[in-house]
Amino acid sequence: MNSSRRSALKVLAGLATLPCLPRAWAAESGRPVIRINIPGPRALAFVPVELIPALGIDRVLGVHLSIRYFPSGVRAFEDALAGNANFAAVGFSVLPVLASKGEKVLAVVPLSGKTPPYALVVRKDLAGKIRKVGDLKGRSIGVSAGSVASKTYLNTLAEVVLSSYGVKPSEVRWVPNAQNIDAVYGALAGQAVDAVFCEEPFVSELVRRGAGRILLDMNTPVAMARIPGLAHPRSVVAASAESVRENPQRTELMVQMVQRTLIWMHAATPEAIVGKLGVANENERRELIATLARVPDIFSSDGRFSRKQVGETVNFLRAASVPLSVGLDVHSLVSYQWSGYKL
């Protein structure tokens, strides 16, 4: 066992000794329910949330985590802001956009790490015609569906990626699809689109199934240097500021659940992580294992925010030409007190 894994296991053992809920909340039956909305199922950026009940971490802390799936993080968060859930997992860059529209929102704990697991995948039968990003002009691109009020994180990122390679967002036709493998695969295999912009494990799954070929992989030094703000936080757990203020204990519990899970993941093998997800399809199981092995830094190792990464969000949104409120401090959208932070 390497030193980082030993260290992570020590931290995990220490977390197990932390005080949990008051006696009245921690009863064996009738545990309080914490509700969270996430994209999925098994959208890789949000897998840590799915692992919480699989690992029994919510039970250890005396609560029951109830998960509902949505086609995108935007829809998941808007449903939570409407009062139907306590939290949502969402792309962090969505928060400044919502804040500029008057929503009082806060990120409470990060999910993502340093590796950007995104790619442009073209239909296999068009791979000979679409050889570079510029060839997408006039083509259709599938991307996760947003709402009338807000674009999804992946949609915004896709526009930045295209612009970085000289293609205006208005020069392609955007086709909405849900953020799960069935929807993404169906869009390509059914020839509803010419390409899709998605993230792992869907990228690898599309290639394995023969539906598409990778046109542009974001997880390369060239792409990371070319695309502004690509190092910003991908995914977070967020809530309304009012919800955080009114029930700080619930927020603390949510953060503890995520942090314990991330620390367990950092110490675990890809096989152990996928085993806890209960993936029945053998090919999907192998693909997930291979993806986790290939991009080990895709998740936060400790569930603490990086202030540098948070600051990168401004560069990303400027590149996306997203209108923000004058004087908006992106750090004001992060509740650092719960998760802690690093530079």
**Helices then strands, each counted (H, E), the chain:** 15, 12
Question: Is it true that 3-114+232-342 and 118-226 share their CATH fold?
Answer: yes
Q: Dig out the tokens for 78 from the structure.
A: 């808007």
**Over 60: is that where the pLDDT of 15 sits?**
no
How far the first Cα of the chain sits from its last, in Å, is 28
**Over 60: is that where the pLDDT of 55 sits?**
yes
* Cβ-based neighbours of 317, under 8 Å, separated by 6 or more: 93, 96, 97, 156, 229, 324
Q: Provide the pLDDT for residue 299.
A: 95
**Over 90: is that where the pLDDT of 48 sits?**
yes
Longest dimension (CA), the chain: 65
**Over 80: is that where the pLDDT of 16 sits?**
no
pLDDT-derived band of residue 280, with 50, 70 and 90 as boundaries? confident
Q: Are 120 and 198 in contact (CB under 8 A)?
A: no
**Over 70: is that where the pLDDT of 261 sits?**
yes
Q: Which of 144, 320, 118, 113 is nearest to 218 (CA)?
A: 118
Extents of the domains making up the chain = 3-114+232-342, 118-226
The letter for the amino acid at 67 is I
Evaluate the CA torsion angle 223, 227, 232, 237 in order and state its sign: negative
pLDDT-derived band of residue 149, with 50, 70 and 90 as boundaries? low
pLDDT-derived band of residue 180, with 50, 70 and 90 as boundaries? confident
As a whole number of angstroms, the distance between CA 263 and CA 209 comes to 32
Say which residue the tokens 């955080």 belong to: 244
**Over 50: is that where the pLDDT of 156 sits?**
yes
Q: Provide the pLDDT for residue 8.
A: 46
- Give the model confidence (pLDDT) of 308-334 as tens digits: 999 999 888 888 888 888 888 999 999
Q: Which of 57-66, 118-127, 147-156, 262-271 has the lowest mean pLDDT?
A: 147-156
Beta 212-217 vs 118-123: how paired, if at all?
Answer: antiparallel
Say which CATH superfamily domain 3-114+232-342 falls into: Periplasmic binding protein-like II (3.40.190.10)
Q: Which of 1-10, 28-37, 295-304 has the lowest mean pLDDT?
A: 1-10
pLDDT-derived band of residue 222, with 50, 70 and 90 as boundaries? confident
**Over 70: is that where the pLDDT of 19 sits?**
no
Q: Provide the pLDDT for residue 22.
A: 40
**Over 50: is that where the pLDDT of 181 sits?**
yes
Three-class DSSP category at 123: strand
Q: Which of 3-7, 86-90, 184-188 has the lowest mean pLDDT?
A: 3-7
Element containing residue 11 per DSSP (H, E):
helix 3-15
pLDDT-derived band of residue 147, with 50, 70 and 90 as boundaries? low
Enter the DSSP assignment of 343: -
* Cβ-based neighbours of 293, under 8 Å, separated by 6 or more: 270
Q: Provide the pLDDT for residue 3.
A: 46
Q: Considering the domain 118-226 in this protein, what is its CATH number?
A: 3.40.190.10
Q: Provide the pLDDT for residue 27.
A: 40
For residues 53, 257, 265, 74, the Cα torsion angle rounded to the nearest 10 degrees is 80
- Compute the mean pLDDT over every residue in the chain, rounded to the nearest whole number: 88
